[in-house]
Structure 1
């Protein structure tokens, strides 16, 4: 099967030197398909001057996606793009919300979540209503829709009116590097580089309202002072938006000797921190899946996470769960991790077993099944 893979977000991440969740998803799917003889990937993008990717140099379908999709919504499929894809691929997969309207090519779209529709306060105000309308329209053009959790599937069916049988759950995978135990020497070097000792609390994620760092900071502040010093809060995350107060709090945390803000670290250093932490504290207010929790499981790091949205479905009994709106409950979970190491170890064992069920090969196999449904439907 010849698959046209939308690579706009992946390409943008490569150009910037940092992949986000959708970029990692697209890249990982492409890599998983390379080992299969029945799939050939050809990358396409919206934009110009895109860098080479692992599956080749993307072909640009249009220079600006917003203008392109608005034209699609008002006038129908672009005949030139539609004919080109019909000549070159059997199916087009839009994994990154850049969904073209096609007439003669089977189409699959991946929708991770509906955060802009459910929580518009977390996204930019500029043309928000138009963007949401265009996105909702474009998802409807897909023959089949992929999402990453049963929770997200329910939202898609309920809010977009997509028939349940057209929406398929294909959970994400974990990079195998997270399972590989780093040596004591390597971990010590990473910790020494950042002035850390083992058994800190770890937060990983871009600084933005959805990731809920404010509640994690408030919870850590409720711990006794001696514990805050012994188990500081280490934050790994780029500066995002609406975080002016958070930045001030992080600087104060560092000044008190109760934490560190490391804006960006390469993957191997993040793994070293996960393998050295008392727990990952992942109190996001909304997740379509919550891959950082599974990555922590793979690294044998205890996890404290939210008891809302998709996270209970994904983590099961392997994580301590708490109300993300209640710093007191988060602080109690932190204390429980420290006070009951036997229970923490049991959850770590369960977490590792659970993480091994989430592989990119499995994700690719399920995705291929959806491709076949889309092609058969045509």
Structure 2
């Protein structure tokens, strides 16, 4: 979340930049400043009242020692009143702090200066495009038909076991999934990321820490009995590894990677654009997460972009990169680039990765800091990216690598699959 001193010092700029998200944040920003002024005034009253009470307590002690019990009794009545005032001020202060925190949780991150204005994904800017779109044979099919033809993904069986959006991978389909996970993890660890095996459920504090709550309230699967949430992405447990952590400047940068299943309640709509693997409630994803010095985070961001490019080049999939507009940028992100692969069989682009810089927004919620060279505590910057999300990568492979005789396996994956085609 945004820091109050930052809000106070950059009020007009914050309001202007949040307008890129199509939000008029004027009232929220003014309320945050006003609540903080009330908080500071109450804190001053509380501190003064406690100081006066402590001084009187010492004076009462001295009066008793000098035999002036009557004067001491009079002062004791005043200390009783001061203690009652202290109690009231503490309650008022707690209420103000809670109200301020609740409000700050509702204010999204300020978009980076380079983020374009826009209302939806239609307003995102294409900034990079690479790869040759293959020419398929005349009977080419979308991946959901290929999955049925070669018996590698069973959507109907998943629907029977659980419901729509929970596919069952079978035979070479399951092995190709496992191969992609292993390949992604190997690429990430070779690039210096430390592999973590992370929990698939998290507590409420973890969801607040990365910004899923309160923004995504109702969009995550929630176990009310234990008050735990199924993770929508490995970003949540992975970034919360560093919650309430004070690092040394020499510890930075830190990079971790992990594979997890991901769970999302988003219902979506009907039609070919959400058929098959295009939108799921459960899917597999390999994530990369970075904790960076503020001076280095955008250099690290560019490095993450190049890392994902390298993976897609090795898979030989045509892809493009979009800079998300303000209206399509996630609640906690300052800047997000989306990667999309082209599905020749569907004749459309499929999102397969988002890389985001959150600057200090998550770190402030997480209380993730480092001690700088001057010995002062400073908030870190956090970043994350999909490296990669499997469903649409798999869809792209099945569709773009199909031939009349079957589906070829990308060369880079053959050492992981131990087969070179599906037929």
Q: TM-score normalized by structure 1?
A: 0.26
Structure number with the higher helix fraction is 1
Q: TM-score normalized by structure 2?
A: 0.24
Structure number with the higher strand fraction is 2
